[in-house]
Amino acid sequence: MDEHVAFLNEQVDRHHAWFSKSLPMIASENVISPMAREMLVSDFGDRYAEGLPHERYYQGNAFVDEVEDRVVALAKQIFRVRHMDPRLISGTVANMAVYFALLEPGDIMTSVALSHGAHISSAKFGAAGLRGVNNVNYPFDVDRMNIDVDETAKLIRLVKPKVAAFGQSVFLFPTPLRELHDAFQDAGCRVWYDGAHVMGLIAGGTFQDPLHEGADVLTGSTHKTLPGPQHGILLSDSEDEKFLKRLQRAVFPGVVSNHHLHAMAALGVTLAEFLAFGRDYAAQIVRNAKALAQALHERGIKVLAEKHGFTESHALALDVAAFGGGAKVATDLEKARIITNKNLLPWDTSPVRPSGIRLGTQELTRLGMKEAQMREVADLFARILVKGEAVEAIATEVAAMRTEFNTVHYCFTKDAEAHRRWRLA
């Protein structure tokens, strides 16, 4: 075997072995099902399918078209919408399509600030800045870890944005869209919801339903609480055909050429599995997040939004300044095989040295963990951060814990009667 190939194989194998003995708690990740993973190594990954099904610019897409039609049908059923585009290759590319469709350089967009949990694609140095968008941030209620409704309504009426954007990377609580309805109407703006982090919770009916609460368009990635491949999605329930056509053209030829057909097929499997298991999965994610937050709080670790129940999603925000700050704590936890990330909190100014870390329960839930295991995880955090125990000993315990949780749940198996690859419920 070529030495370079051997090296690459070794590193991937080591990665798999290491993660199989770790606690993956990054809020933007998940593990794909075995049946969906098969799609990623199919011949779909070698092919092109520019354009829409049955209207391609390439030949050879007869079966690709059938797959894409089914993926669209599944998503429309799950999200109860009229329009779904599966061609986005990531959540950020989905966001770029919205910028391309709805905003011109110099237009005003309102959004959450980065330090309040927004995604970098809305920042001046991200996709919004590349489009030349004039971004104005909402007033934020730090205590509630959510936008300040009254002040946000005033801001929207004052600046009259072309687009009012919502969505966060630290997404603890539903956005008060209904409460802002009158402000949207007064400003005459479009409403866009980036649901990348909470897409599975939306689909599972445990968070909020933005497209039926006032949003015109919903974008997101498909590998967080929606446990599919790394891909993107765009949905709308609008009846305005011109608006939908603008979105469609912004996707292709706007920001996508070929749309990674193997990932699109894997998304289809994920959506079929979500029809069967998604509501149970989403509900357990939230129960686990609440249990983990309460257990961490009881063990002396500061979890934000205590007075408001800590979270209504998969995510938690922890203030770990007392233990050396987010960068140090994330590094210490990694040495103990607990995988998290440092994260800005509302009062931070440096993304390199923030005071917080962010946690997510979606992947531990996918591996079969429930409330009892969340309390065990909280014990491990406390032993590292509060008691200062040696991380090497904790790492050994984490590896032992994972021996009982290395099977992907809430998905089809090959021998299950329920498994029909493109089954519609």
pTM of structure: 0.95
Q: How does the average pLDDT of the chain come out, rounded?
A: 94
Edge-to-edge strand list for the sheet holding 190-194 = 83-85, 227-236, 217-223, 190-194, 163-166, 108-111, 134-137
Domain ranges of the chain: 34-273
Q: What is the pLDDT of residues 103-150, one digit of tens each?
A: 999 999 999 988 888 787 777 777 777 788 999 999 999 999 999 999
Confidence of residue 177 (pLDDT cuts 50, 70, 90): very high
Q: What pLDDT score does 79 carry?
A: 98
Q: What is the largest CA-CA distance in the chain?
A: 66
Give the whole-number percent of the chain exceeding pLDDT 70: 97
| Tokens linked to 114 | 């980065």
Looking at CATH, the fold of the domain delimited by 34-273 is given as Aspartate Aminotransferase; domain 2 (3.40.640)
Q: What is the pLDDT of residues 4-19, one digit of tens each?
A: 999 999 999 999 999 9
Is the model's pLDDT at 256 over the cut of 80?
yes
- Which helix (H) or strand (E) segment is 292 a member of? helix 261-298
C-alpha 110/C-alpha 128 separation (Å) is 11
Q: What pLDDT score does 415 carry?
A: 59
Q: What is the pLDDT of residues 316-367, one digit of tens each?
A: 999 999 999 999 999 999 999 999 999 999 999 888 899 999 999 999 999 9
Q: What is the pLDDT of residues 183-222, one digit of tens each?
A: 999 999 999 999 999 999 999 999 999 999 999 999 999 9
Q: What pLDDT score does 419 carry?
A: 43
| Tokens linked to 98 | 């919205």
